[in-house]
Amino acid sequence: MKKIFLMIFLFTICDLFSQNELYGEKLSSNKLTSINELNYLFTSLKDGEFNNTKFKAKVVDVCKMKGCWMNLDLNNNKQVMVRFKNYSFFVPKDIEGKEVIVEGKAFIDILTVDELKHYAFDAGKSKEEIDKIKEKKRIYSFEATGVVIP
């Protein structure tokens, strides 16, 4: 009898460790958009437009202060900056290099010099690097409602 309880306990523990980490809202069952499709989507978006989507990508950078934003790799030297809907959740600060699945809305954003400097500071950039920021920048942006770290 003890062996049965031990086996059940071990299976339960294994199941807990194999589960994905969820931040924010549960993701839909919609299929993932490929990175190629996402790149095309961003090039076709006009200012003020957005597209609801879900995709998987590698984390390039994450806010070192709170985990309140992250940059994801879109290949071909392209990245998307992911922020979290209503600032309602954060991701771990140590997930650089990991794959994540995000769901939410993709859009084009223009960051001011002050915003760019703020994000550079959050990313741990040096004062010299931050001082070099002199112009606003048009970026691929994403407002995530949910994030899964598989």
Tens-place pLDDT, residues 31-74 = 999 999 999 999 999 988 999 999 999 999 999 999 999 999 99
Q: What is each CA distance from 71 to 47, 60, 92, in whole angstroms?
A: 20, 5, 13
Is the CATH number of domain 21-149 2.40.50? yes
Residue 13 pLDDT level (bands cut at 50, 70, 90):
very low
**pLDDT for 4:** 53
Rounded to whole angstroms, how far apart are CA atoms 39 and 77? 11
Rounded to whole angstroms, how far apart are CA atoms 124 and 16? 33
For 40, the 3-state DSSP assignment is helix
Q: What is the mean pLDDT of the chain?
A: 90
**pLDDT for 17:** 47
Residue 14 pLDDT level (bands cut at 50, 70, 90):
very low
Asked whether the predicted pLDDT for residue 15 surpasses 90, the reply is: no
